[in-house]
Structure 1
């Protein structure tokens, strides 16, 4: 477990387009989170990108897992967690806009929407996200589906600075992931001392989802 080996795994996944990138043209970003786990010999990072996918027809939490102790799968894409139970009711004839007057049902919970009919669905989900992160992002069972259940959590990031283009800047060349690798190597969260402003809010990615 070294900084260089961790960054090497990140870069390998980025080269395969399996590293979390908020500039993805296939979904509109809604929310994001990173959680780090570690003990003396094991490490894992779980990154979630919650987005509205026009082609997938739902709000999906894309879970990426990395580490030296994954219990299933390879580093990179993990699970694609579909969140909305009643897309047929809230969508307007598949046009990607809100039908109006219908709650959004997420994992059996009805969430009231303060949005007019015709509002783009990604904007509806963005309105719901701040107060409902616990429903929309992975719960503990989903989170640990691919990592050891006894691996202690070390740090959580609800925002960070993401490279604008992972083809131009690999994770090993970016401050955020360099510091994350240092935290995982040392077990000391104080290594995370960002100098770049956080940009994971969806408003920083106006072209995402437009393919």
Structure 2
């Protein structure tokens, strides 16, 4: 039996990735955002969150400034991954992954 994972544990890992500049930032001035996708997986023994970002970047860099734990969406994702209850992921806001929502993307 796999030990229980709390949503707070998942958010802590996501926040740590953001602090270490290993979390996707769609508003990165060094990269022209094209698309973003998020996939969550869970079974009895494993959990995984895959964030795909597609963009053109003439330079390398990551300027993330926001912690995932401050986002309602990522809090809901953590709840769903921790419990396996898909109904806990029910975002109220419309998706904002379209490139036009990230005006600073590629502006540097």
Q: TM-score, normalised by structure 2?
A: 0.86
Matching residue within 15, 18, 22 for 1:18: 22
CA 166–177 in structure 1, closer or farther in 2 if over 3 Å, else same: farther
Output the CA distance in 1 between the equivalents of 2:72 and 2:64.
Answer: 13
Structure 1 position 197, deviation (Å):
2.2
Matching residue within 12, 19, 44 for 1:8: 12
Determine whether 1:34 maps to 2:9.
Answer: no
Counterparts of 1:90-169 in structure 2, within 5 Å, are 167=65, 169=66
Structure 1 position 166, deviation (Å):
5.0
The superposition leaves residues 22-68 of structure 1 with CA deviations (integer Å, 9 ceiling, x where unpaired) of 01111100011011111112101110000011237xxxxxxxxxxxx
Select the structure that is richer in strand: 1
Counterparts of 1:44-123 in structure 2, within 5 Å, are 44-55=48-59
Task: Determine the structure 2 residue equivalent to 1:147.
Answer: none
Task: Determine the structure 1 residue equivalent to 2:98.
Answer: 201
Task: Determine the structure 2 residue equivalent to 1:185.
Answer: 82
Report the count of equivalent residues: 102
Question: Which structure ranks higher in relative contact order (CA pairs < 8 Å, sequence separation ≥ 6)?
Answer: 2
- SS in structure 2 at match of 1:30: strand
RMSD of equivalent CA atoms: 1.6
| Structure 1 residue ranges (4+ consecutive) displaced by more than 4 angstroms after TM superposition | none
Output the CA distance in 1 between the equivalents of 2:41 and 2:90.
Answer: 18
Q: TM-score, normalised by structure 1?
A: 0.46
Unpaired runs of at least 5, structure 1: 57-164
Structure 1 position 20, deviation (Å):
1.2
CA 26–166 in structure 1, closer or farther in 2 if over 3 Å, else same: closer
Task: Determine the structure 2 residue equivalent to 1:176.
Answer: 73
